[in-house]
Structure 1
Amino acid sequence: MADGSEYKGHYGVSADTLRDFHRRRAELLWQAGADVLLFETEPSLMEAEVEAQIAEELGAPYWISFSCCDGRHNCEGQLLADCARQLARNYPHLQAIGVNCTKPEYIASLIGELKRASDLPIIVYPNSGEEYDPQTKTWHGVGTDRRFGDYALDYMKAGAVAVGGCCTTVADHIRQVVAARRTYTGK
């Protein structure tokens, strides 16, 4: 819809409409030979469950990654731990759960929420900390003063098995993640 609703989950549509929107894309990716389907930047549990149901029907392994508005809630305002608990309990093909397109300073707390709610591997790939303006369809701000690599090391120590970057991250951010991984593993 290109109005910023994808960051909040307030689409004003039914689960059936979301299913129709996502199903064919998932089918095409799975039929093309994908090893795993990744449903990302999920603002709400409802949308994540629609996608989980599709993947389960396909028999496809998949990951789900939420966008979050603070250190405890997805962008629709639901507790991330409740979302993770619900997904881990009811969807056996779910291989990993995580957070993306979220401010870096919230990620370590969100990893803790995910760890308390499930035993699934945790993946994180935050944005650089800038804000999205749905009116101008631009990102603004300066992000965070803290080095992205320092955040990445904290995420690994907190339990993330995969760390990357999302919107407004650049090659230097990823180089910092690689360096943090070397520090973390000692290799």
Structure 2
Amino acid sequence: MIRDHAMAIRDVHLRYFQAGADVAITDTYQATIAGFQKAGISEEEGNHLIKAAVWAADEARQIFWEQLAATERDARLYPIIAGSVGPYGAYLADGSEYTGAYSLNRRDYQSFHFSRMNALKEADVDLFAFETMPNMDEVEALIDLLEKDFPEASAWVSFSLGDPEHLCDGTLLEKAAAWAGAHEAIAAVGVNCLPAQWASQAITSVRRGTDKPVIVYPNSGETYDPQTKSWHHPVAHVDYGQSSRQWFQLGASLLGGCCRTSPDEIRKIAEWACN
């Protein structure tokens, strides 16, 4: 996708900015050097593709900013680019980012993630997004890697949940939030790719664990089938305008949408959040 459709990725980012988004998450969630090499792509080209994903987001940001009138710029945050760092389970491509059913030692987790993080940093992302994290051992390894090898950088951590109060691997969300939030390099803590119906309870759990800013960006409520690589069984439609107000009132200050959501959901959030 990055190699063949960089302009399309740029245009998607642009539509999100135009809808009111203040943050673009790079198209690197599943992009890893190990994954590229498995597909016959060299390490050098893999690094270039990861950087190209950042450049696509940055180009969209520049186009968007130039489209704004001076008065509009004064009223907007200059958009941020977050480098997506998905879990090891996303590389496995078997749905285990929604189960946490995998295990590496700390050194192997760090070796796996370092090359992507290094490429993202070299391409000048504003921060890392450790997102859809189902496995606490992996989160601990990532934060250790961040602090040791990228000491000037920051990240948010958003967990993948098995239920509204637990990570997929069974770790209590409140405990995970407390541990992550205690690290200076972590700018925000929260949850993503969860059913929107879980968001309120999850926000409450995160806030019990940390006073860091809380981030929440649920999916559409559909279920992912790793065998067919498709989404099924949509739940009742969620009004992101109304629901996001509730999430904000509960203490979440960074709001958005994950899988199967669109710029329309961001627009509904921006309609009240930017007024």
Q: Give the TM-score, by structure 2 length.
A: 0.63
Percent same amino acid among aligned pairs? Answer: 38
Displacement of 1:63 in angstroms is 0.8
Question: Does 1:13 pair with 2:104?
Answer: yes
Distance in 2 of aligned mates of 1:36 and 1:177: 23
Aligned ranges 1:3-152 → 2 under 5 Å: 3-57=94-148, 58-59=150-151, 60-89=153-182, 91-152=183-244
Q: Gaps spanning 5+ residues in structure 1: where? A: none
Aligned to 2:61: none
Distance in 1 of aligned mates of 2:143 and 2:135: 12
Deviation digits for residues 84-120 of structure 1 (CA, Å, limit 9, x no counterpart) = 111223x221111111011101111111111111110
Greater Cα offset, 122-131 or 134-143: 134-143
- Provide the aligned C-alpha RMSD in A: 1.4
Contact 1:128-1:144 within 8 A present in 2 as well: no
Contact 1:150-1:180 within 8 A present in 2 as well: no
Contact 2:131-2:192 within 8 A present in 1 as well: yes
Letter in 1 for 2:158: S
Displacement of 1:166 in angstroms is 0.4
Letter in 2 for 1:75: C
Deviation digits for residues 2-52 of structure 1 (CA, Å, limit 9, x no counterpart) = 111122121243232221111111122123222211110100211111111
Displacement of 1:179 in angstroms is 2.4
Aligned to 2:251: 159
Structure 1 residue runs of 4 or more that deviate by more than 3 Å after TM superposition: none
Contact 2:181-2:188 within 8 A present in 1 as well: no
Deviation digits for residues 142-165 of structure 1 (CA, Å, limit 9, x no counterpart) = 233332222111111111111110
Question: For 1:69, what is the secondary structure of its paired residue?
Answer: strand
Question: Does 1:174 pair with 2:249?
Answer: no
Aligned to 2:9: none
Q: Gaps spanning 5+ residues in structure 2: where? A: 1-91
Distance in 1 of aligned mates of 2:266 and 2:107: 37
Question: For 2:245, what is the secondary structure of its paired residue?
Answer: helix
Question: For 1:51, what is the secondary structure of its paired residue?
Answer: helix
Deviation digits for residues 52-80 of structure 1 (CA, Å, limit 9, x no counterpart) = 11111111111111111221011112111
Contact 2:98-2:162 within 8 A present in 1 as well: no
Contact 2:215-2:254 within 8 A present in 1 as well: yes
User: Which has more radius of gyration?
Assistant: 2
How many residues get paired? Answer: 182
Distance in 1 of aligned mates of 2:117 and 2:235: 33
